[in-house]
Amino acid sequence: MLSIRSLLPLALFALALPGRAQICPELGPIQVHTGAGTITCPCFVANEEAGTVFTGIPAGDFPIEITKIGIGWGSQSGGALPTVEDSINIYGAGLPNPAAGGTLYSFGAPQMTDGFVNEFNVENQAPGGGAVVITSQPFTVTLRFFNANNTPPYGPSMVEDGNGITPGRNVVRAIGFPFNGWYDAQSLGVSGDWVLYIKYKANCGTGGGNPGVAYCFGDGTGAACPCDPGQAGGLGEGCANSTGNGGRIEASGTPSVANDTLVLHLSHLPATAAAIIFQGTLQQNGGNGSQLNDGLLCVNGSIIRLGTKNSVAGASDWGFGIAGDPLVSVRGAIPAVGGTRHYQGWYRNSASFCTPATSNYTNGWSVTWTP
């Protein structure tokens, strides 16, 4: 059975921590859509499909293990009863024919709840209880319909974000006259990106996955948090914020100046918090951090601010393959010979919590760059 959670939950991450066993962190959500999703498409019949083509995941992360799939679902009037649809499918190719790459995985009978992004836990749901492993991209994730919603009273269906559609990244599998087969959803008049995301674990072996080392935790192993006792974050997190979680930073990809695919990931922040990632040449206080605002400052030395973003569901990604982002090595001015740099996230937390300050920090993350 697939487990299901509604709304956009915060991802739960496991870190490779000093003195602890290395575990691949859960990354994401990875998505094409940019809005919450308010537009439904009452246009599908049984066995038709709608979904997203995934590209741009750092090459060094492969093979990846998909852990969760989220699908936006809604009706025009709202409040429809839950429905059980045919299946969630993963195909080994993108357009023009995702099925040309074969059906890699199929998860039957997902129950969809109206008005939510329904998140399904597919970790270890491959045949025999194995991992859901994808070795290359592009690949496509779809929902196959069991219930028709193209006639009154128009049942719930896939939701799109209404912010404009990304060519080549949204698919529809149509059945019957005059359309039959796979189509770019844009060519059928869909106006936005399907609200669909994945979360995954990167390859932790050589050449990918979890580069670097986490340090400077608000979990009691480093300096005390400003409002301790009682403000400690979870294992490997920064000091707790108003959500009850501690902010996290981690990385995936390859930290090579000549072949930079590094992505820095922030998570466990307030839902839409503004965040900054910065880079330093030294660890603060021997890696234990020092109290500042509602958290611990972990980075010192020559500081470079890498950028500012607003979080989505308490998370954001920075670097390779992220639209509008420079490479981390370029923005951080990493010399051609490489070197070790330290990263941390600052984020806004204006809710009444802890000190009168309105900001907090993640843990720290150290990366050794190669040429």
Three-state DSSP class for 108? strand
Backbone angles phi, psi at 55, to 5 degrees: -140, 175
292 three-class SS: strand
What's the rounded Cα separation, in Å, for the pair 346 and 299?
11
Q: Check whether the bond before 178 is cis (ω within 30° of 0).
A: yes
From start to end of 311-358, where are the E strands?
Answer: 316-319, 339-348
Q: In sequence order, what are the beta bridge partners of 64?
A: 134
**Extents of the domains making up the chain:** 3-9+24-201, 213-369
Q: Give the N- to C-terminal CA distance of the chain in Å, as an integer.
A: 46
pLDDT of amino acid 130: 76
| Per-residue pLDDT reduced to its tens digit, 18-64 | 332 334 678 889 999 987 777 888 889 999 999 999 998 887 778 88
Mean pLDDT, the chain, as a whole number?
87
At 81-121, the pLDDT tens digits run 999 999 999 999 999 999 999 999 999 999 999 999 999 99
> How many whole angstroms separate alpha carbon 143 and alpha carbon 89?
6
Per-residue pLDDT of 295-334, as tens digits, reads 999 999 999 999 999 999 899 999 998 888 999 999 999 9
pLDDT at 28: 83
14-24 pLDDT tens trace: 223 333 233 46
| 87 close to 107: Cβ distance less than 8 angstroms | yes
How far apart CA 233 and CA 247 sit, in angstroms, is 8
pLDDT tens-digit map of 134-172? 988 999 999 999 999 988 888 899 999 988 999 999 999
- Name residue, tokens 């799939």: 69
Weakest mean pLDDT among 208-212, 219-223, 315-319:
208-212
**275 close to 235: Cβ distance less than 8 angstroms:** no
On whether the CB atoms of residues 2 and 110 are closer than 8 A, the answer is yes
What residues does 22 pair with on adjacent strands?
A: none
The pLDDT value recorded for residue 295 is 96
Evaluate if residue 208 carries a pLDDT over 50.
Answer: no
Residue percentage of the chain with pLDDT more than 70: 91
pLDDT digits (tens, 9 = 90+) for 329-366: 999 999 999 999 999 999 999 988 899 999 999 999 99
